[in-house]
Amino acid sequence: MPTKSASPLTVLRIPAFRARWTASMASNLGTLVQSVGAGWMMTQISDSDAMVALVQAGVTVPTMLFAVFAGTLADNFDRRRVMIGAQLFMMASASLLCALAWFDLLTPWLLLVLTFLIGTGSTFFNPSWQASLGDIVPRTDLPSAVTLNSMAFNAMRSIGPAIGGIIVAIAGAAAAFALNAVSYLPMIAVLWRWKSPPPDSTLPPEPMRLAVGSGLRYVAMSPNLMNVMARAFLFGFGSVAVLSLLPLIAHERLGGDASTFGIMLGCFGVGAVIGALNNARLRDHFDNEHLVRFAAAAAMVGTAILAVAPTLWACLPALLLNGMAWTVALSLLNVTVQLSTPRWVVGRAIALYQSASFGGMAAGSWVWGSVSDGWGLFAALAGAAGLLAVAALVGLKMPLPEFSDLDLSPLDRFKEPALQLDLKLRSGPIVAVTQFEIDPDDVPEFLAIMAERRRVRIRDGAQNWVLMRDLEDPRIWEETYHVPTWVEYIRHNTRRTKADGGTFERLMALHRGEERPHTRRMIERQSIPRRRGGVYDFNL
């Protein structure tokens, strides 16, 4: 049975989180005002439905392209500096957008490019922002913190679009872009004052290429995370149709102006806030799979209503329902990723999750805009509703995991051995060999445990993992794997979590040797010498 959850508002008792959350309200307001200005301006400077829908894609495509690099920065460098740099970049892009709009120099493609740049800044900001939640709130408060962040955005969604519509109607899109540029200042000030915690590891940062590979490998070797990301992609693909086509619904079907568009977005935001406030209560009564399934079904119903709704008043309840479904599904998927990932790779896991969900949204924005161009709004919204039905049904075959009860804190059993060779951190390749003595009757259970051990080893950075059996003494088994350098060997062993410790204990129960298995660590050396200055050097 799900345990009783506290109200998400309780996390505001933590001063550092409260300051950041308050600053995010101002930043979110500017973002939403700018989205109204950008969406509405595109309807004025382009007559293509696909171009209007691509405004939404301009924000989401950068996440699909750059998220893994942003996550790598979040895991390997000072997250505070990364966030400040991203905020300054977004402020500069928004200021340029404002200037071009003010002087009537904005074209459809310039609008998309600058929207893309703002989205790029957001892409590099978000993984550090999300990962740093674990630096300022306890693990038990993490679901509340994620939900409250979502609520902050959607609270502004309930009023920001209406404000944006009024600003655009009275002062033009340039004023909306100017407000967005100014809205980054409170967040920059809060981050400037925040002191990020010291790094957990004394090892040097991973090179970018290796760090990206580590993140991709960890997620690929974690079935639960892959499941979450597939579901996020599918939900994002279907649910984004409402947001990407909303300017067209307001402008073409309802014959409204920017304020109509703002009211409709505001109603979506109200639904999202209602969903956020009730998220904890819903988790008390339903498991993760049923919540996401219900959210997809609710989004399907709301999208289907929008496909045929003839008036503003008929559209508003559907938007309320879509907003609730949006927050419940995406915040729950986000929390599942964070609680299923250890701290050393959480930034990359969050980034890949965002790449999956935003990639779905980017693809959906283009597809539904193109369908609307060719067959009309009804066909696009009806198609999106059909896909959301699939997103609900797929859970019957791919159920989501529950919030992980596993202890993902470091195992801290690894002690760096005293070496008789003078190794440097970059020395390698390193080979590790561990011998086990297993009774023949225990071999099936041993092989099952070793299959899980192999997955964990490779997930944490091991290469060329093999399990060998002695032909002369079949009771003897050897596990062998490689890592490129000594520093990677240390990283590999310090990545082990307490949840992984159970596998080794099960192996110890099967081991029949008089002593505990001993791991031999060796460095590979070539037997072919290289001639240097007339002398043959075997120490390569």
| DSSP string over 46-59 | ---HHHHHHHHHHH
In 172-257, alpha helices (H): 173-193, 208-220, 223-248
Q: Which residue has the tokens 């060999």?
A: 433
Q: Give residue 259's identity as a one-letter amino acid code.
A: S
Q: Give me the sheet containing 476-483, strands edge to edge.
A: 463-469, 476-483, 430-437, 519-523
Interatomic CA distance for residues 218 and 337, integer angstroms: 12
- pLDDT of amino acid 403: 61
Q: Which 8-state DSSP code applies to residue 438?
A: B
Report the pLDDT averaged over residues 9-33. 83
Residues 6 or more apart whose CB falls under 8 angstroms from that of 313 comprise none
**Residue 457 pLDDT exceeds 90:** yes
Phi-psi region of 412 (alpha: psi -120 to 50; beta: other; left: phi over 0): left
Written as six digits, the tokens of 199 are 């790094």
CA atoms within 13 A on the CB side of 299: 36
- pLDDT of amino acid 535: 57
**Residue 6 pLDDT exceeds 60:** no
Residues 6 or more apart whose CB falls under 8 angstroms from that of 490 comprise 203, 414, 416
State the chain's mean pLDDT as an integer. 84
Report the pLDDT averaged over residues 457-485. 94
Which range has the worst mean pLDDT, 4-8, 90-94, 115-119, 359-363? 4-8
**In this predicted model, what pLDDT tens digit does every residue of 162-197 receive, in sequence order?**
777 788 878 888 888 999 999 999 999 999 988 777
Decide if 194 contacts 46 (C-beta within 8 A): no
Phi-psi region of 205 (alpha: psi -120 to 50; beta: other; left: phi over 0): beta
The reported pTM is 0.77
- pLDDT of amino acid 530: 59
Going by pLDDT thresholds of 50, 70 and 90, the confidence category of residue 534 is low
Decide if 492 contacts 440 (C-beta within 8 A): no
Q: Give residue 90's identity as a one-letter amino acid code.
A: M
Decide if 204 contacts 491 (C-beta within 8 A): no
Written as six digits, the tokens of 18 are 């409260």
**In this predicted model, what pLDDT tens digit does every residue of 254-280 receive, in sequence order?**
888 777 877 887 788 788 878 877 777
Highest mean pLDDT, choosing among 324-328, 403-407, 412-416 = 324-328
For residue 412, the tally of other CB atoms under 10 A from its CB is 11
Written as six digits, the tokens of 309 are 């709704």
CA atoms within 13 A on the CB side of 46: 23
Q: Which residue has the tokens 């990723």?
A: 337
Decide if 280 contacts 328 (C-beta within 8 A): no
Give bridge partners of residue 480 from the DSSP assignment: 433, 466
Written as six digits, the tokens of 346 are 């959480």
Decide if 419 contacts 478 (C-beta within 8 A): no
The angle, 0 to 180 degrees and rounded to 10, between the axes of the packed helices 15-45 and 108-131 is 160
**Residue 382 pLDDT exceeds 70:** yes
DSSP H or E segment with residue 463: strand 463-469
- CA geometry: angle 507, 509, 513, nearest 5 deg: 85
**Residue 503 pLDDT exceeds 90:** no
In 137-172, alpha helices (H): 142-171
Q: Residue 371 class from Cβ within 10 Å (0-12 exposed, 13-18 middle, 19+ buried)? A: buried
DSSP 372-434: HHHH-HHHHHHHHHHHHHHHHHGGGTSPPPPSP-S--SB-----PPPPSS---TT---EEEEE
Residue with the bigger pLDDT between 169 and 530: it is 169
**In this predicted model, what pLDDT tens digit does every residue of 139-170 receive, in sequence order?**
777 777 777 777 777 667 667 767 777 888 78
- Can the peptide bond before residue 197 be classed as cis, meaning omega within 30 degrees of 0? no
Going by pLDDT thresholds of 50, 70 and 90, the confidence category of residue 1 is very low
- pLDDT of amino acid 173: 83
**Residue 3 pLDDT exceeds 50:** no
Which range has the worst mean pLDDT, 114-118, 149-153, 291-295, 319-323? 149-153
Question: How far, CA to CA in Å, does 449 sit from each of 375, 455, 481, 503, 509?
Answer: 55, 10, 16, 7, 11
Question: How far, CA to CA in Å, does 3 sit from each of 138, 283, 389, 483?
Answer: 17, 8, 29, 42
- CA geometry: angle 348, 354, 360, nearest 5 deg: 140
- pLDDT of amino acid 249: 86
Please, what is the end-to-end C-alpha distance for the chain in angstroms?
59
- pLDDT of amino acid 83: 92
Q: Which residue has the tokens 């003897």?
A: 476
Interatomic CA distance for residues 81 and 84, integer angstroms: 5
